[in-house]
Structure 1
Amino acid sequence: MLVQVALPVPLYRVFDYSVPAEKASSNAALPKIGSRVEVPFGRQTLIGIVVAHISPADSNVPASKLKPIYKCLDSEPILDASMLKLAYWLARYYHYPLGDVLAVMLPSLVRQGKPLDLLITHWRILPHVTDDDFRANAKKQKQQFDMLKLHGKRGASEDVLLLEGMQRSFLKTLEDKGLIERFIEPKIAPLTVKLAKMPLDLNEEQKLAVDAIVSAQQAEEYTGFLLNGITGSGKTEVYLQAMQAVLEAGKQVLILVPEIGLTPQTRARFASRFAAQIVLLHSGMTNTYRLQGWQDCRTGHAQIIIGTRSAVLYPFANLGLIVVDEAHDASYKQQDTLRYHASDVALYRGLQQKIPVILGTATPTLEHLKLVDDAKLVEYQLRTRPGLANPATMQLIDARLQSTHQQSQDDGASFDTGLTDALITAIRQTLEAGDQVLVFLNRRGYAPVLLCESCGWQADCPRCDAHLTVHYSSQNQQNSYLKCHHCDWQAYIPAVCPDCASQNLDARGLGTTRLSENLHALFANPQTSKTLYPIIQIDRDTTRRKDSWENIYQRINQGKPAILVGTQMVAKGHHFPNVTLVCLPNADRGFLSADFRSPEHTAQLMIQVAGRAGRGDKAGRVLIQTLQPDNELLLKLVKDGYLSFARQLLQERKMLGLPPYSYAALIRCEGKTLAATTQALTDAIAGLPDAHNLAVLGPIDAPMSKKNSRYHSQLLLLAKERPQLHHILEHWWPSVLTMSSAKYLKLTLDIDPIGW
């Protein structure tokens, strides 16, 4: 017998290998399907997954050219039949090589052939150690010691301690002082899940949803649920009570969240309800922890799994429920390698495992609404907030009728704050009432462009078709620079214009840093404000450091009056009970984009940000500053709400024949010249079968035709029926990759793209 191996190479095939004579005496000695093997491949040695056993007669490779496997790395399969079936489905649906699909599904250490070891490092306090062993000035060491002491004599695993905030350097220091010790012990089976806190009372809408989900779980049948609840309506409580029945039945629950920043607070929420083994999975973890998490899922040690999109590809011993929180979020779409959408994969896995899947959101995508219309998802709506909390009221501020506020400086000059007087007055009144304000601007940095007022020169990225963003701080001018947010190219801010030597360089536009400084001048300057209010900036620049987001979150939840200035990071599932006012000073951009999905995404973002207001006992309101108060879509959103807005967009999509009423495949081509990429896509179109009945749009330049010194073109294929599109792609796409004009170019295929 021979073995067929899927290897991590960009080839749409598997490879046949012979088995050394000492292992060929019986089929029982063959490497098992789903196990890893080390094999020769050209001049390389690769790790692959055995996907089949075949007889020599079924192989297309002559016996003289068959190579033997070097080594079998696993005595038992690491991927069972259901995981291999998932891999085949992913390869088939996304038209991606099977070996590369399996490489995406496996943690890097598993791909490298490392042993699967359940032994992990634990730490515990030595029996003779007491609090008296610490010097009075060793406060930080004592603090870390006290955290470990909470775990008693048995101690805790290193990954748990690090998640709780301990630092590895302090553990090593305490060990060197003879106060604690590290030890290794195998993981034991987790205890039965118990409630750590009693559930809350459900309203009628929540109870209907929980009963339906539990019924599907008990019947062991797949049902996809769209939990369509306004922000703050108690979707998490529905998750928790639906999970209870699953966990009590001894099954695992997978909870997907869109961002790494949400995983710690989500873990805290679930840990406060259940005494269970909770595992976090995201890209911020080390390779060792990712391997341990993968193993915990596979062996059943993990009972509640909280992860970002890649967690949906993990193996599970006994999965009973999948929850996709904030299911509308674009972060669930992988934008490189295997371009899968985690929500779609979650629904497939639910069908495969015969378990319920919950897609929870306040702003469902048009695709999910279409699935409800087609009876492929069951919708449950949550229209009310628990207790006395009501949804925030939304109001437009016409920026045409009142110019933005000009603030005077100490030297007599003035600057434009970017905020109207009405917005500033509302912010001040909210702060004086003891509440918090969230000002949302989805553009980080100081300003989006640096402009010469004399000759019109603009600071552009030399490697991309994009302006350089100005990063500037009046408090630390040495840390000021220009940066491209697409390729990370950086440069110093010039003192004079490179074209005309003028000193009249002006940073135009508003970023979160500049907005924070403007608000500081208005509300944290003793010359302009009787009370000084903190300005808390929340974006990728201020949350880079370890624990920075947790520290910001704790500062916000102290409840003191403050102004939060944030990008879309603040819109995703965060609970700020003391925020009663949300301000959107630049609400027009998204409705003016050329991307046909932009109005949908903009509305989702606005509603999600608006949902941060009034989540506690106090009423909330949302002020939208706009230069287009008569924009029909904006008025529809404000007056009638997101669902009515989405239904109108859905009708427009139907009339235009756009997704979700058609099915799209986007081919991107990247190369050294635009002419080469365009020619390759032109040749690809020529290779389409006659009478293909597809709408072919392109080739055209990508929205950013030059990025990181490479040129990009794209081609869009639209079909009325999904099987029709995939049937054509199955035969056409592999031939495109082998075209002579595609040599030295990078061609990628994106099924169900979220934008073009």
Structure 2
Amino acid sequence: MPTFDQSRYKGLIYKIAIPSPLRGLFDYLPPETKQAIVNGMRVQVDFGHRKVIGFVISRAEESELSREELKPILQIIDSEPIYSGKLLNLLEWCSQYYQHPIGDVFNAATPIKLRSARTIYQQETFYKLLSNNASPGPNGLARAPRQKALIGYLENKRNITKKEIISKGFSNTVINTLEKKGFIKSYIRDSKPQSEFASIVRNSSKGPELNSEQQKAIDHIRAQGTGYNCFLLDGVTGSGKTEVYMQIMEDHLTEGRQCLILIPEIGLTPQTVSRFKNRFQCSIATLHSGINSNKRFEAWSQARSGASAIIIGTRSCVFTPAPNLGLIIVDEEHDGSFKQQEGFRYSARDIAVMRARKENIPVILGSATPSLESLYNARKKKFIYLSLSQRAGAASQAVASIIDTANEALDNGLSEQLLFKIEKHLSANNQTLLFINRRGYAPVLNCIQCGWVAECSACISQLTVHAEPPSMHCHLCGKTHHIPNICPQCKLNKLSTLGVGTQKLERVLNSKFSNYPVIRIDRDSARSERNFNAMLEQIQ
């Protein structure tokens, strides 16, 4: 009977990260094809009774399993690694640091489009003209002038795409007919990857005049060079932190290095992109959950190829490959939105710092209210502390009033002083912003007779009443319920709503200030990028 050591397979095997709750890597034999396999590539393998996509992490010369227990790799999907070098090492670090299965970590970092057998580069249909020996001559096309014209167009061209042919006025029917007759042949291949962006030219006239604190912060960052350092930029609101970002970004963009900007909320993306587009003449990629998977994959591909100079996105953007990354900026570093709370739980801010360390590049954490852990790291000299205590330019300190509403009679959640201030500013042709952290119409539906409160049947969380369309939503699990006509407990028609949500506030404001337009922006009204941008245009 063979010993355990004798039963172990000795030979080349690949260790694959597979999306599953099981921790560790899985051993697979090389495929039957002789195609080279590099760490960071995607492969298709048998996993139980399923065929799944995994990532090659490493190779070894022996396995703890026997030859009979090992399965071969079915297909090599990529011709080059999706993640390589330092980014591959970062994802492995994330798995160890956050104690999460490595396959799930890679899956979470990868665009949805690449979680299947799709190739990195988009595939396109190309056409070529067959030789005269392989197909009949065009003399028989006297009654088909468009087909004859297409043959003439293809005579001196190679690798022409179907899009290019159609753009010249040739229809699908003409193309398909010629292919059936054997005059032309189609083939599919990956489209050519985009080239890296060209270094921008420095333009000092575009930026505003800096105050002494801004200049000091910029000089300090520049003095540390292009290697790893973590800077904590503690600046009051309106102190010009963004201008500091842009000055440092310009240093890197002029040298052909990419800049990665992390922002906490999708809502900040349009204004952030607008500011950078007005300042820099270069390609900008945006990645967040508010755009569809096709656009997101396209932006990811541009960043990975080096074609995008500036990459802006929310927390998952921290994993975006960038071949010439020179700077990482985390704006509003204290914000809780940088923490992923479901599945693979992580802090994008902390991963950004670790990525900068592994890439040996600077990272800037900016905030008007830095987190305690960042302040602690600055005190321990792990981060370099920079302060902006003055407002930039002619900006003045905002006047804040705290109103105690405990003893006031509120009108749908609005105090008399607030309504007076709104009316005053609207009369002066000013705009007014009201922030409320409750979606829907009202956060509670209850019975004033027996005290019944509407709760989700799936997770026992309180249901939020929505007016558009009339329904009750669980904002925790997403389940939708109908609004009952009577109390399901006491069977009386004594149902009432408590509290104010964005939908109810919109109705109240429309009734009180009917001569002025009211725009409600929340996750329900701005689900699509088009709707959100249209609302911003109205506001501006």
Distance 1:453 1:338, change over 3 A: closer
Residue-by-residue CA offset, 1:496-554 (whole Å, 9 max, x unaligned): 33333433322222222222322333322xxxxxxx22222222222124422222212
**Does the 8 A contact of 2:227 with 2:360 survive in 1?**
yes
Equivalent in 40, 46, 50 of residue 40 of structure 1 = 46
**In 2, Cα distance between equivalents of 1:313 and 1:425:** 48
Alignment of 1:535-574 (within 5 A): 535-557=518-540
* 1:69 and 2:64 matched: no
Quote the residue 1:517 is aligned against: 507
Contact 2:290 2:529 in 1 (8 A): no
Q: 1:446 aligns with which of 426, 441, 444?
A: 441
Choose which of 461, 466, 470 in structure 2 pairs with 1:466. Answer: 461
Partner of 1:214: 222
Q: Which has the larger radius of gyration?
A: 2
Specify which of 495, 503, 508 is matched with residue 505 of structure 1: 495
Task: Specify the SS of the correspondent of 1:60.
Answer: coil
Structure 1 position 262, deviation (Å): 2.2
Structure 1 residues 76 and 512 mapped into 2: Cα distance closer, same or farther (>3 Å)? closer
When residues 509 and 43 of structure 1 are mapped into structure 2, their CA distance, relative to the original with a 3 A threshold, is closer
**Structure 1 residues 185, 48: CA separation in 2 closer, same or farther (over 3 Å shift)?**
closer
- 1:109 maps to which of 108, 113, 118: 113
For residue 201 of structure 1, the aligned residue among 195, 198, 209 is: 209
Residue 30 of structure 2 is aligned to residue 19 of structure 1 = yes
Cα offsets for 1:87-109 (capped at 9, x unmatched): 22111101112222222222233
| Shift in Å, 1:351 | 0.7
- The match for 2:481 among 491, 498, 510 is 491
Q: 1:64 to 1:254 in 2, by over 3 A?
A: same
Note the 1:127-276 alignment, pairs <5 A. Answer: 187-194=194-201, 198-216=206-224, 219-276=225-282
Listed as ranges, the matches of 1:705-716 within 5 Å are: none
Question: Residue in 1 aligned with 2:5?
Answer: none
2:519 is paired with a residue whose SS is strand
What code does the residue aligned with 1:553 have?
Answer: L
For residue 2 of structure 1, report the CA deviation from its aligned partner. Answer: 2.3
Q: Is the 8 A contact 1:446 1:472 kept in 2?
A: yes
How far off its partner does 1:343 sit? Answer: 0.2
Per-residue deviation, 1:223? 1.0
Which residue in 2 is equivalent to 1:383?
A: 389
C-alpha deviation, 1:22, in angstroms: 6.5
Provide the C-alpha distance between the structure 1 equivalents of 2:31 and 2:513, rounded to a whole number of angstroms: 76
Alignment of 1:617-696 (within 5 A): none
Root-mean-square deviation (CA, aligned residues, Å) is 2.7
Return closer, same or farther for 1:20/1:451 CA change in 2, 3 Å cut-off: closer
Judged with a 3 Å threshold, the aligned counterparts in structure 2 of structure 1 residues 33 and 397 are, in CA distance, closer, same or farther, namely closer
For residue 92 of structure 1, what is the amino acid of its counterpart?
A: Q
What's the CA shift string for 1:12-65, capped at 9, x where partnerless? 221222235774xxxxx6522222223222322222222222213xx2112333
2:3 aligns with none
Q: Which runs of 5+ in 1 are unaligned?
A: 24-28, 122-170, 177-183, 405-415, 474-478, 525-531, 558-756
CA distance in 2, matches of 1:232, 1:371: 25
Deviations 1:184-242 (A, max 9, x none): 776344332235772221111111222222333xx332111111112222111111111
1:359-395 deviations in Å (ceiling 9; x for gaps): 1111212221222222222221222222222221222
Q: Which amino acid in structure 1 is aligned with residue 535 of structure 2?
A: I
Task: Find 2:366's aligned residue among 341, 344, 360.
Answer: 360
1:118/1:295 contact within 8 Å kept: no
Amino acid aligned to 2:308 = A
Structure 2: how far apart are the matches of 1:76 and 1:454? 67
1:692-719, Cα deviation, whole Å (9 max, x unpaired):
xxxxxxxxxxxxxxxxxxxxxxxxxxxx
Q: 1:482 to 1:110 in 2, by over 3 A?
A: closer
Q: Number of aligned pairs?
A: 469
Deviation at 1:305, TM superposition (A): 0.7
The unaligned stretches of length 5 or more in structure 2 are 1-11, 126-165, 172-190
Cα pair 2:197 2:256 within 8 Å, conserved = no
> 2: CA distance between counterparts of 1:175 and 1:553?
41
Distance in 1 of aligned mates of 2:394 and 2:91 = 48
From the superposition, tell whether residues 227 and 119 of structure 1 become closer, same or farther in structure 2 (CA, over 3 Å).
Answer: farther
Q: For residue 297 of structure 1, give the secondary structure of its aligned residue in structure 2.
A: helix
**Corresponding letter in the other structure for 2:117:** G
**Given that residues 452 and 505 in structure 1 are in contact (C-alpha distance below 8 angstroms), is that contact kept between their aligned partners in structure 2?**
yes
Q: Deviations over 1:241-276 (max 9, x none)?
A: 110001111111001112223222221211111111
Q: What residue is the counterpart of 1:7 in the other structure? A: 18
TM-score normalized by the length of structure 1: 0.58
Q: Distance between the aligned counterparts of 1:334 and 1:537, measured in 2?
A: 27
CA gap of 1:270–1:297, structure 2 versus 1, over 3 A, is same
Q: Which residue is equivalent to 2:138?
A: none
Among all aligned residue pairs of Structure 1 and Structure 2, give the percentage whose two residues are the same amino acid: 42
Q: Which amino acid aligns with 2:100?
A: Y
Could you give the per-residue CA deviations for residues 716-745 of structure 1, whole angstroms, max 9, x where no partner exists?
xxxxxxxxxxxxxxxxxxxxxxxxxxxxxx
Matched, 1:82 2:86: yes
Shift of residue 277, structure 1, vs aligned partner: 1.6
Cα distance in structure 2, aligned partners of 1:22 and 1:498: 65
- Whether contact under 8 Å (2:290, 2:527) holds in the other structure is no
Tell me the residue number matched to 1:345: 351
Q: What residue identity is the alignment partner of 1:489?
A: K
Question: Following the alignment from structure 2 to structure 1, what is the Cα–Cα distance between the partners of residues 71 and 528?
Answer: 49
**8 A contact 2:285–2:310 mirrored in 1:** yes
8 Å CA contact 1:118–1:187 kept in 2: the answer is: no
Change (3 A) 1:366 1:73: same
Aligned AA for 1:9?
S
What is the Cα deviation at residue 485 of structure 1? 1.9
TM-score of the two chains, using structure 2 as the length reference: 0.80
| 1:277-329 deviation digits (Å, cap 9, x = unpaired) | 21111223343433333332222112111111111112220110001112122
**Equivalent-residue separation in structure 2 for 1:235 and 1:541 (angstroms):** 31
Give the structure 2 partner of residue 456 of structure 1.
451
Distance 2:170 2:197 in 1: 28
Q: 2:181 maps to which residue?
A: none
Which has the higher mean CA deviation after the structures are superposed, 459-468 or 370-379?
Answer: 459-468
**Alpha-carbon offset, residue 470 of structure 1:** 2.0
Contact 2:218 2:248 in 1 (8 A): yes
- In structure 2, distance between residues paired with 1:465 and 1:99: 32
In structure 2, what is the Cα distance between the partners aligned to 1:440 and 1:446?
15
